[in-house]
Amino acid sequence: MARSKWLQVKDKLRLVEEWARSGLTEGQISANLGISRSTLSDFKNKHRELAEALSRGRAVAVAQLENALYKRALGFNYEETKVSIRVINVEEVKYTEKSTKYQVPDVGAIIILLKNKDCQNWSNDPAKRDLEREIFVFRKQLELARLYGDEEQ
């Protein structure tokens, strides 16, 4: 009988969380663990701690991305350092020049944030959004009717 690799994976849960935080895909994580993608999926379903480690890592990565997008949408100041080497009297002299620059707000980032954070007021097609909501409610009612019969109407 083949030995399960779960114990090896269990010992690396902290690494799994770090890999997910770093943006690695589940395929890359499974390769790092020395198991197949399907085995990782099976382990996620059987072992809650693995699913939670992946989820915690992804949550941190998503938060970092949201913060970067937000910063880009608002605009920000940053410091730029230029290093140049000049030859003066046969001697190399290293010059370091620091300057503060301003990154203007990015319209694309603004649009993405508004569409995702305030979709009630910012949507490409509000009528389509409302129709999709109505379809969702209708399908939910259909499913309830299938499960419980027509008692609820």
CA distances from 132 to 127, 128, 136, 141 (A): 9, 6, 6, 14
pLDDT tens for the 153 residues of the chain, in order: 446 889 899 999 999 999 999 999 999 999 999 999 999 999 999 999 999 999 999 999 999 999 999 999 999 999 999 999 998 888 899 999 999 999 999 999 999 999 888 888 888 888 888 898 999 999 999 999 998 876 554
Cα separation, 112 vs 142, in Å, equals 33
What are the phi and psi torsion angles at 114 (to 5°)? -65, -40
Quick one: which of 113, 107, 81, 110 has its CA closest to 95?
A: 81
User: In this structure, what token pair is assigned to residue 125?
Assistant: 């097609």
Do residues 64 and 49 make contact, with C-beta atoms less than 8 angstroms apart?
A: no
